[in-house]
Structure 1
Amino acid sequence: MELVYPPVILACKTLFRVLDLKLDVRGAEHIPATGGAVLACTHVSYLDFIFCGLAGLPARRKTRFMAKKQIFANRVAGPLMRGMHHISVDRSAGQASYQQAVTALKAGEVVGVFPEATISQSFTVKAIKSGAVRMAAEANVPLIPMTVWGSQRLWTKGRPKNLTQRHVPILIRAGEPLHPTPQDNQDQLTRELRTRMTTLLEKAQADYPDKPADAPWWLPAHLGGTAPTPEEAAARDTR
């Protein structure tokens, strides 16, 4: 029985209305109404799991996200994460969380992952891990590329959070699924997944309704923003 997830969803929707966030969800029809699926989403904000999960709601699906174990250790967030049946990831022993995700997928759950592993400070798609492809293949479920854009303006890595900011457009996009099998070349499929995630992100960036005249920090460098380049962001990640 879902005791925690429904009130959390209601609270988030209420907050979105209060802040008048301009939510624009497209491609939700790619998320199946039944059976397991992997949602592989770009990562520009600490809030992406909330917005990514919205794409499953039209199909009445609740997404179980894989998140680092430190969040589960938080005295406030931890009980909520466990109550919503999200999956704790210990990066020093990742096989257990991987198997937990595969078990959930085989049981018909939707599992959300961020294949970049960490937030992209360049607001482009970083190199991605192969885990999303591998678990979709092992569980024999569709792999759905996704992107969220605009959430970085509320709270992202290296910037002060601004959770009371109003009227921010948030674009959420789901693309056509991949259908990996254990016989496929998983490195090739991982590259294809990254290509599809990049295409979705770039389309969302092009469609974004806020077109500032200056060079905002929340735009990638190649679009005229002051975010670090991918090379600069990679150097920051190693510090």
Structure 2
Amino acid sequence: MSRRRIGFWYRLAAVIAKPPLIVFFKRDWHGMEHIPADGGFITALNHNSYLDPLSYGHFQYNTGRVPRFLAKAALFKPFFVGTMLRGTGQIPVYRESTDAANAFRAAVDAINSGECVVFYPEGTLTRDPGLWPMVGKTGIARVALLTKAPVIPVAQWGAHEVVPPYAKEKKVRLLPRKTLRVLAGPPVDLTEFYGQEPTPEVLRQITEKIMLRVSGQLAELRGEPAPAALYNPRAAREGK
């Protein structure tokens, strides 16, 4: 299988994004050796800031493997941003179920063609009060079963200190200079699920296994134990 080359649009994005990332932030990166050198694969990330896609994009770009993010369709509407997203091969995700299925098919095709697709399984910024990962959505499990590609768990921390999630004031806090931390781990072993029917329960188990690995790596980055269970916003709303 081939892999996506770093083409014009990705190089342009790097020229625009890398200098401020290098100037304004310190980096603490670990686990680049777990990013496959060849072949298609999936990365699963936690999400606690609108800045962390840029932080992770910088990390993976420096491995030589360019990422394709599943991004909300609304981000493709502004002319310049939309042109950049399309040019770099990012995958739009729509709310409608049919279009959502198309996004997953595009992800499967990209992985089978030797590319990397980045998933934020939580689907939104974490609602966990301590900014730990939440229960994930099962799209990543469907794609993992269909492709049998390596799923690399990635934890990131620090971007929330610059752009806090759900802050009432959309204020960027650049000073003092913050450290953006990224830790990629070895692939999640999902072989026990291969060949099983993708029932809701199987997909839930796969997604939970992936997210618990991400949570464990975040605990390592933060230097504190992770919660025993993933935060479930629906259960929290219902008082369970």
State TM-score, norm by structure 1.
0.81
2:195 aligned residue = 183
User: Which amino acid is 2:44 matched to?
Assistant: A
- Alignment RMSD (CA, Å): 2.5
Residue aligning to 1:193: 210
Note closer, same or farther for the CA distance 1:163–1:232 as it changes in structure 2 (3 Å cut).
Answer: farther
Q: Distance in 1 between matches of 2:212 and 2:221?
A: 14
1:64 & 1:146 partners in 2: Cα distance? 15
* Residue matched to 2:153: 145
Query: How many angstroms does 1:144 deviate by?
Result: 0.8
Query: Aligned residue for 1:14?
Result: 19
- With over 3 angstroms needed to count, the CA separation of the structure-2 counterparts of 1:133 and 1:6, relative to structure 1, is same
1:115-167 Cα offsets, whole Å, 9 max, x none, are 00000143111110111122122112100111110101222432223064451
Which runs of 5 or more residues in structure 2 are unaligned?
197-201
Q: Distance in 1 between matches of 2:91 and 2:207?
A: 22
Distance 1:101 1:234 in 2: 31
| Residue correspondence of structure 1 range 1-239 to structure 2 within 5 A | 2-19=7-24, 21-93=25-97, 94-121=100-127, 122=129, 123-159=131-167, 160-162=170-172, 164-180=174-190, 182-184=194-196, 185-206=202-223, 235=237
Kindly, what percent of the aligned residue pairs are identical?
A: 28
CA distance in 2, matches of 1:73, 1:163: 27
2:151 and 2:95 map into 1 onto residues whose CA distance is: 22
Matched residue SS, 2:71: strand
Distance in 2 (alpha carbons) for counterparts of 1:62 and 1:72: 19
Which secondary structure does the structure 1 equivalent of 2:42 belong to?
A: strand
Q: Which sections of structure 1, spanning at least 5 residues, go unmatched? A: 208-219, 223-228
Q: CA deviation at 1:56?
A: 2.4
TM-score (norm 2): 0.81
The 1-side partners of 2:83 and 2:109 are apart by 22
Post-superposition shift, 1:230? 7.2
Change (3 A) 1:5 1:166: farther
Count of matched residue pairs: 215
